Structure 1
Amino acid sequence: MDFTWKVFLQTGNIDTYLLFKEMEKENQEIPGNLNEELANIDFPVS
């Protein structure tokens, strides 16, 4: 993700910025899903 940001800073390419934002969004979604999965393992709903 750092690489994408650096490319955007150097080029100012809007597509690169949009790619960066998409990657940032996906990275923020992953921890929540992982925590939910771990909670379900610890406390399975019957």
Structure 2
Amino acid sequence: MRDFSWKYFMMTGDVDAYLLYKEAAVLGEQMAAVTEPDDQEEAAE
């Protein structure tokens, strides 16, 4: 989705496509933080 919205923005200059691109980046970072195991929790066990 992120790649598509960037390509669409580059082709059209549509601001909404850029905002979608940025939102997808933020959501991707949040999902990565949630799915990564916490090293501190593993060390405590």
Q: TM-score, normalised by structure 2?
A: 0.73
**2:45 is aligned with 1:19:** no
Question: Gaps (5+ residues) in structure 2?
Answer: none
Structure 1 residue runs of 4+, over 4 Å off? Answer: none
Counterpart Cα distance in 2 of 1:14 and 1:23:
14
Q: TM-score, normalised by structure 1?
A: 0.71
Query: What letter is aligned with 2:5?
Result: T
**2:5 is aligned with 1:8:** no
Question: Gaps (5+ residues) in structure 1?
Answer: none
Counterpart Cα distance in 1 of 2:32 and 2:18:
23
Identity %: 32
Q: CA deviation at 1:31?
A: 1.1
The alignment yields a C-alpha RMSD, in angstroms, of: 1.6
